[in-house]
């Protein structure tokens, strides 16, 4: 059970508050470690919520006050009016006060300063939006603003505040400089304990900051973040980008990060180390400040239109205040409706922004995002390696088959060539026998003719023998010349046939190192009969070579 106690400026919560600390932080409560209590601003809306919370948990107002009540606080008088009035009430006529002496501005400001000091004798907790943050030496000057949705932004209520060097150094030692400056940024809602005074030089209220409740700012950011996530969940947009289909081979990667940042160099270096074969479209965008949301939204549209398969949104981490720019509504809806997956590597382990919650995948660092991109290609590389092994096996098997076929072809060609040569030799011998028989038959026929002529001449008149002797000699000479000519012709034909047969036999030439070149079955006799790139068959003594023309040179 928890209990509450109201004071003029604050509400103190006590009891078993640990299980309900998140609800108290959401209301802007600040934990006081000395007495294990929580402190809130005493406002009507907060008081109603605290009262309801305590009642629901079985608690209520505290029995003993934790602090003494502030003295000299005027007690409000509550007047009741009867519902049925019997007599009319007389109205009094206002009498103007007597004239008084005029005050100078300094006198007026002195009186106002005293009134302010009397009204705020103790520091009070004030909430507001940080504006015009400015360091001057070791002092920190800023304005606390309160925005009214019914007013123009230029009409916001503002009060000047100062964080003096001694207080600033004390808060840095207490909370850490990085954590403090992470909250004290333009546009951040803060809860600070301030001394209220009147700055006479300008006649304006001035605040001197004594303490800053860091948990209030973080709790408010968490509430706004949760509100946006709840709105996205109600429309089913919190998981819309997670359901986008990732390309099997994301070759075009869109990168959104700051120009010259460590995040960009780490991501690109890791892709190069991993052997990424695709293209990275790098679009520099700011990663800090109010321009983050519009710039990243435009960048997503540009990279989607450029045909990217996957978008990488990354920066080098940061505090919760640094990452609040990625909790914007415009950016969240753009990521949720993006037609391609978005991988976000923005925060670290404990800092998760809305953009990381609703994106396709959240990675810890830019290097991890690059490893994810490279891992997308692992199945493809494995498949390529497997296909390469299969291709190598099939190639080896095909080469073995080709070698076997080549051996068979060589054996078949050798047998065919030997058989053809044997048939040519047999035909040559047959032709030789035929020529010899024809020659002998012609000789015998001529010899018979000569014998018949000789018998005829011997029977002829002896007187005509001498007359015909010259004619016969002449005829015999002619016949002998013709016989010799016929013999020479037949011998030349035999020589030509023999030379042709010898010329057809490439074995002697091949044995001497000569070869026969053919292109498409035709004998190659000139370099003009072949073109570069054509295949040439070279005949050797023990086989053939398949050659390819690389270059022609004329002599």
Whether residue 167 has pLDDT greater than 50: yes
The C-alpha atoms of residue 182 and residue 371 are separated, in whole angstroms, by: 30
- pLDDT (tens digit, 9 = 90+) per residue, 410-421? 888 888 888 899
Whether residue 504 has pLDDT greater than 50: yes
pLDDT of amino acid 539: 82
Whether residue 151 has pLDDT greater than 70: no
- pLDDT (tens digit, 9 = 90+) per residue, 203-217? 788 898 998 887 776
What is residue 61's three-state secondary structure?
strand
Mean pLDDT over each residue of the chain, to the nearest integer = 79
Provide the 8-state DSSP code for 296.
Answer: H
The CATH number that domain 120-221 falls under is 2.40.50.140
- Homologous superfamily (CATH) for 235-376: Response regulator (3.40.50.2300)
Whether residue 463 has pLDDT greater than 50: yes
More confident residue, 239 or 443: 443
More confident residue, 253 or 2: 253
- pLDDT (tens digit, 9 = 90+) per residue, 170-195? 888 888 887 787 778 777 778 888 98
pLDDT of amino acid 476: 84
pLDDT of amino acid 341: 92
pLDDT of amino acid 499: 83
Whether residue 508 has pLDDT greater than 60: yes
pLDDT of amino acid 348: 57
Contact (CB, 8 A) for 280 and 271: yes
What is the mean predicted confidence (pLDDT) over 420-434? 91
The C-alpha atoms of residue 391 and residue 395 are separated, in whole angstroms, by: 6
- pLDDT (tens digit, 9 = 90+) per residue, 518-547? 888 888 888 888 888 888 998 887 888 889
190-218 b/e (C-beta count within 10 Å ≥ 16 → b): bbbbbbbebeeeeeeebbbbebbbbbbbb
What is the mean predicted confidence (pLDDT) over 495-508? 79
- Closest residue by Cα to residue 252 from 233, 229, 271: 271
The C-alpha atoms of residue 328 and residue 319 are separated, in whole angstroms, by: 16
The C-alpha atoms of residue 196 and residue 144 are separated, in whole angstroms, by: 13
Whether residue 501 has pLDDT greater than 70: yes
What is the mean predicted confidence (pLDDT) over 283-297? 82
Whether residue 34 has pLDDT greater than 70: no
Question: CB count, 10 Å around CB of 9?
Answer: 14
What is the mean predicted confidence (pLDDT) over 61-66? 52
What confidence tier does 321 reach under pLDDT thresholds 50, 70, 90?
A: low
DSSP string computed for 180-243: HHHHSSTT-EEEEEEEEEEETTTTEEEEEEEEEEHHHHHHHHHHHHHHHHHHHHHTT-TTTGGG
Least confident of 82-96, 235-249, 342-356, 465-479: 82-96
Q: How far is CA 550 from CA 385, 422, 534, 553, in A?
A: 33, 39, 8, 10
Whether residue 339 has pLDDT greater than 80: yes
What is the mean predicted confidence (pLDDT) over 143-152? 70
- Closest residue by Cα to residue 296 from 280, 309, 313: 313
- Residue 160 burial class via C-beta count within 10 angstroms: exposed 0-12, middle 13-18, buried 19 and up: middle
What is the mean predicted confidence (pLDDT) over 426-452? 90
Contact (CB, 8 A) for 168 and 140: yes
More confident residue, 393 or 463: 393
Task: Give the residue extent of every domain in the chain.
Answer: 2-61, 120-221, 235-376, 382-505, 506-555
Among 318-322, 363-367, 504-508, name the most confident range. Answer: 363-367
**φ/ψ (deg, to 5) at 142:** -160, 175
Q: Is the pTM here over 0.75, yes or no?
A: no
Whether residue 458 has pLDDT greater than 80: no
**φ/ψ (deg, to 5) at 256:** -115, 110
Whether residue 111 has pLDDT greater than 60: yes
- Vertex 51 angle, CA 47 and 56, to 5°: 150
What is the number of residues in the chain?
555
**φ/ψ (deg, to 5) at 96:** -65, 140
pLDDT of amino acid 67: 33
**φ/ψ (deg, to 5) at 422:** -60, -45
Whether residue 428 has pLDDT greater than 80: yes
Whether residue 284 has pLDDT greater than 50: yes
What is the mean predicted confidence (pLDDT) over 107-136? 83
């Amino acid at each position: 059970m928890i209990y509450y106690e109201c004071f003029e400026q604050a509400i103190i919560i006590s009891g078993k508050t640990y299980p309900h600390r998140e609800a108290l932080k959401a209301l802007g409560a600040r934990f006081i470690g000395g007495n294990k209590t929580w402190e809130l601003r005493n406002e009507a809306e907060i008081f109603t919520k605290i009262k309801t919370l305590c009642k629901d948990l079985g608690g209520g107002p505290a029995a003993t006050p934790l602090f003494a009540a502030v003295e000299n606080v005027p007690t409000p008088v509550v007047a009741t009016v009867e519902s049925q009035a019997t007599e009319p009430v007389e109205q009094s006529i206002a009498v103007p006060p007597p004239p008084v002496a005029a005050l100078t501005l300094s006198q007026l400001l002195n009186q106002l300063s005293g009134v302010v000091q009397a009204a705020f004798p103790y520091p009070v907790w004030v909430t507001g939006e940080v504006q015009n943050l400015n360091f001057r030496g070791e002092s920190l000057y800023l304005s606390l603003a309160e925005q009214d949705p019914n007013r123009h932004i230029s009409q916001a209520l503002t009060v000047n505040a100062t964080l003096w060097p001694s207080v600033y150094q004390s808060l840095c030692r207490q909370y850490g400089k990085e954590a403090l400056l992470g909250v004290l940024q333009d546009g951040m809602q803060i809860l600070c304990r301030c001394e209220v005074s009147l700055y006479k030089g300008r006649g304006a209220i001035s605040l001197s900051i004594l303490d800053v409740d860091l948990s209030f700012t973080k709790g408010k950011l968490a509430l706004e973040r949760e509100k946006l996530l709840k709105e996205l969940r109600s429309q089913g947009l919190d998981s819309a980008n997670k359901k986008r289909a990732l390309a099997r081979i994301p070759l075009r990667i869109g990168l959104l990060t700051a120009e010259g940042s460590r995040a960009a160099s780490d991501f690109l270096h890791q892709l190069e180390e991993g052997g990424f074969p695709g293209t990275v479209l790098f679009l520099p965008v700011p990663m800090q400040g109010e321009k983050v949301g519009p710039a990243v939204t435009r960048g997503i549209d540009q990279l989607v239109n450029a045909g990217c398969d996957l978008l990488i949104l990354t920066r080098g981490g940061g505090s919760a205040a640094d990452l609040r720019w990625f909790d914007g509504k415009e950016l969240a809806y753009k990521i949720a409706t993006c037609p391609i997956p978005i991988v976000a590597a923005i925060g670290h382990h404990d800092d998760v922004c809305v953009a990381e919650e609703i994106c396709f995948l959240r990675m810890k660092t830019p290097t991890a995002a690059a490893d994810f991109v490279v891992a997308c290609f692992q199945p493809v590389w494995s498949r390529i390696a497997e296909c390469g092994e299969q291709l190598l096996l099939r190639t080896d098997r095909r080469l073995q088959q080709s070698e076997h076929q080549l051996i068979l072809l060589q054996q078949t060609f050798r047998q065919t060539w030997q058989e053809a040569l044997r048939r040519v030799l047999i035909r040559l011998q047959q032709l030789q026998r035929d020529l010899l028989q024809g020659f002998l038959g012609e000789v015998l026929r001529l010899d018979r003719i000569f014998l018949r002529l000789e018998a005829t001449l011997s029977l002829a008149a002896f007187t005509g023998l001498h007359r015909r002797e010259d004619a016969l000699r002449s005829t015999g000479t002619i016949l002998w010349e013709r016989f010799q000519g016929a013999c020479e012709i037949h011998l030349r034909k035999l020589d030509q046939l023999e030379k042709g047969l010898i010329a057809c036999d490439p074995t002697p030439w091949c044995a001497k190192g000569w070869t026969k070149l053919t292109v498409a079955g035709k004998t190659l006799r000139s370099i003009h009969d072949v073109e570069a790139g054509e295949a040439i068959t070279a005949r050797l003594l023990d086989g053939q070579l398949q050659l390819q023309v690389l270059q022609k040179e004329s002599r």
